[in-house]
Structure 1
Amino acid sequence: MQDWRPTATIENLRRRAQVFAELRAFFAARNVIEVDVPALSQRATSDPHIDSITATCGGNSAYLATSPEFGLKRLLAAGMGDCYYLGKAFRNGEAGSRHNPEFTMLEWYRVGWDDHQLMDEVAALLCGVLQLPAPDKLSYRALFQSELGVDPHSATVSELRQLARSHFEIEFESEAAADWLDLLMSHVLEPRLGTGVTLVYDFPASQAALAKVEPDALGVPVARRFEAYVGGVELANGYWELTDAAEQHRRFEADHAYRRANGLPAHPFEERLVEALALGDMPECAGVALGVERLLMQKLGAGKISEVLALPFERA
């Protein structure tokens, strides 16, 4: 007989509800409005590292939202102002101690802010909910230089490959520096981050995703994005948002080209976001997405995501 019981304790589910209330109070105090966007869409993510879950609706293909980002940005372009979403997101094939195909995402946008202003608010939320001291802040370059003695913005693929293989064994080949940087970040650097909140910013331009690319203090183009970690676990990913419609379209097309070249599904991308950027009144803004279950795991000292979910996929 299949087990009908929740994997999280009732006490953890009650504490989960308390954290949700705390998150909503955080934004209410700052006049950030909660909004809703569809969880089922006619468009899929273009991100080559994320796979949408496909559904059928009225005989047509549909996709469960991997994040609320595109819907929220369309609302911003329509004049919504500061807003947030707290609800479900879905990603195909994501399972493990920190992953479930269905999970809760908190995503919010601040009009007129840049990535550094939003970093401060992310720190305030995390330090408040988790009762931690002030965060550590450092650039992506500073982290790589202090821990690995290499400048990630200028290192060659050969140098990064050799550095990675000096730290761990891996059967992997790539001619993209970004792939080796990702491996070094996840396998070497993240485990070295402290037990408190750490904010890492100014990622390589090749990892811009939907962030602006601007020159840093040394004149090197960098992605104006950041990631927030607690105890070496990534909790949030934020951007100074791209608002250029033509550049957004170019990045979507580049994602699709990568997908086709690597045998990945190339679903219809969200051209309505491009239209919103081109024809709407999209403000300069910064946005961030935060994994709520990962936040709860830190809050409750849980070792597995199933400890903070009532009914994870294996019991759904």
Structure 2
Amino acid sequence: MSSATPPWQPTASIQALHQRAALLADIRRFFAERSVLEAEVPTLSHRATSDPHIDSITALCTGEPVYLATSPEFGLKRLLAAGFGDCYYLGKAFREGEAGGRHNPEFTMLEWYRVGWDDRRLMEEVGELLSQVLGIGNIRSLSYRELFQHHLQLDPHRASDEELQECARREVELSFVPASRDECLDLLMSHRLEPAMGDGITLLHDFPASQAALARVETDETGTPVARRFEAYVAGLELANGYWELTDAQEQQRRFEADHRYRAMQKLHVYPFEERLVAALEAGMPECAGVALGVDRLLMLAGGYQRIEEVIAFPIERA
């Protein structure tokens, strides 16, 4: 529907909303067939994300600040540590300031965890889900290094800062100098490499160690430390972000504190981090792999929609 429709009406067509209902049913069937249980975790919490690239939405509850969950990750990991087993969450997540053609501050997220699995095995299941929903049989898996070497003749792990900056200036129209090597890599990925991925399913793994987030860091076959995480793309659109999960409580604490220092240095809001996750890791969260997938984006691809408001009944402008 166009913006000229009355503001009480949904921006998504009734057909798109029926497709959404069918997609949610298909996802639940996919996991039921694999004996993965659906779990509910709070969307309101006294703790927030520490990720420097994500901002939480703040609310008041009984006079105290609380935060809308940017993902169900912390709650699901606490369940894993308690012995819940393979589980998934299918529901709402919230992120401040994310609005546009592919983003809405309130969105639908699918996140699931497999006990005893690593990132490679979970990548295969992500490919199976995407192939089933989208009807795509072309699935390729390649490393972050292979993607950069194929398209840019550059090793992203070993190139110098100067080489990365020069490559970014050559390949991307910039009006500024990137502040870090990760910023160079992100610019090259979003502006040059994602559009070159093609129409199939691309599973990209072994990211730079500096981009580990909550994934473990291991040494690859070349002796290079890499983050054991992956991203799934279809037609250059990122759909999923997965990890061979970090289970080291001390390392998790260190990363939370590093995020806080970075946020403070960048004059970003510093939120209370989830120390209960650290406690869960200390208690013994099992070895596992987990992945988060954007359901609204998946529906956009499945139905051939161009903008996120075409698949959400009431985006933020009409909420």
TM-score category (smaller protein): over 0.9
Q: Aligned runs of 1:94-243 on 2, under 5 Å?
A: 94-243=98-247
Could you tell me how far 1:175 is from its partner in structure 2? 4.1
1:15-74 C-alpha deviation (Å, 9 max, x unpaired): 110000000000000000000000010011000000000111111111000000000000
1:31 corresponds in structure 2 to 35
Give the conservation status (yes or no) of the 8 Å contact 1:157–1:175.
Answer: no
Could you tell me how far 1:183 is from its partner in structure 2? 0.8
Give the conservation status (yes or no) of the 8 Å contact 2:172–2:187.
Answer: no
1:291 corresponds in structure 2 to 294
1:185-229 C-alpha deviation (Å, 9 max, x unpaired): 011000000101000000000000000100001110000000000
Give the conservation status (yes or no) of the 8 Å contact 1:82–1:109.
Answer: yes
Give the conservation status (yes or no) of the 8 Å contact 2:198–2:234.
Answer: yes
Write the distance in 1 (CA, Å) between the matches of 2:160 and 2:304.
40
Write the distance in 2 (CA, Å) between the matches of 1:42 and 1:124.
36
Aligned residue for 1:108, secondary structure, equals strand
2:303 to 300, 303, 306: 300
Aligned residue for 1:94, secondary structure, equals coil
2:318 corresponds in structure 1 to 315
Could you tell me how far 1:168 is from its partner in structure 2? 2.2
1:80 corresponds in structure 2 to 84
1:143-183 C-alpha deviation (Å, 9 max, x unpaired): 00000000000111211111111122223334421111011
Q: Does 1:51 align with 2:55?
A: yes
Q: Aligned runs of 1:248-263 on 2, under 5 Å?
A: 248-263=252-267
1:272 to 265, 269, 276: 276
Aligned residue for 1:113, secondary structure, equals coil
Aligned residues: 315
- TM-score, with structure 2 as normaliser: 0.97
Q: Which amino acid aligns with 1:284?
A: E
1:246-275 C-alpha deviation (Å, 9 max, x unpaired): 000000000000000000000100000001
Consecutive unaligned residues of structure 2, counting only runs of 5 or more, are none
Give the conservation status (yes or no) of the 8 Å contact 2:56–2:69.
Answer: yes
Give the conservation status (yes or no) of the 8 Å contact 2:172–2:188.
Answer: no
Write the distance in 2 (CA, Å) between the matches of 1:14 and 1:206.
41
Aligned-residue CA RMSD (Å) = 1.0
Q: Which amino acid aligns with 1:20?
A: L
Give the conservation status (yes or no) of the 8 Å contact 2:122–2:290.
Answer: yes
Give the conservation status (yes or no) of the 8 Å contact 1:123–1:134.
Answer: no
Give the conservation status (yes or no) of the 8 Å contact 2:141–2:202.
Answer: yes
Could you tell me how far 1:2 is from its partner in structure 2? 5.9
Aligned residue for 2:67, secondary structure, equals strand
Give the conservation status (yes or no) of the 8 Å contact 2:96–2:105.
Answer: yes
Aligned residue for 1:84, secondary structure, equals strand
Aligned residue for 1:47, secondary structure, equals coil
Aligned residue for 2:254, secondary structure, equals helix
Percent pairwise identity:
66
2:45 corresponds in structure 1 to 41
Could you tell me how far 1:235 is from its partner in structure 2? 0.1
Write the distance in 2 (CA, Å) between the matches of 1:242 and 1:171.
37
Q: Which amino acid aligns with 2:233?
A: Y
Give the conservation status (yes or no) of the 8 Å contact 1:100–1:312.
Answer: yes
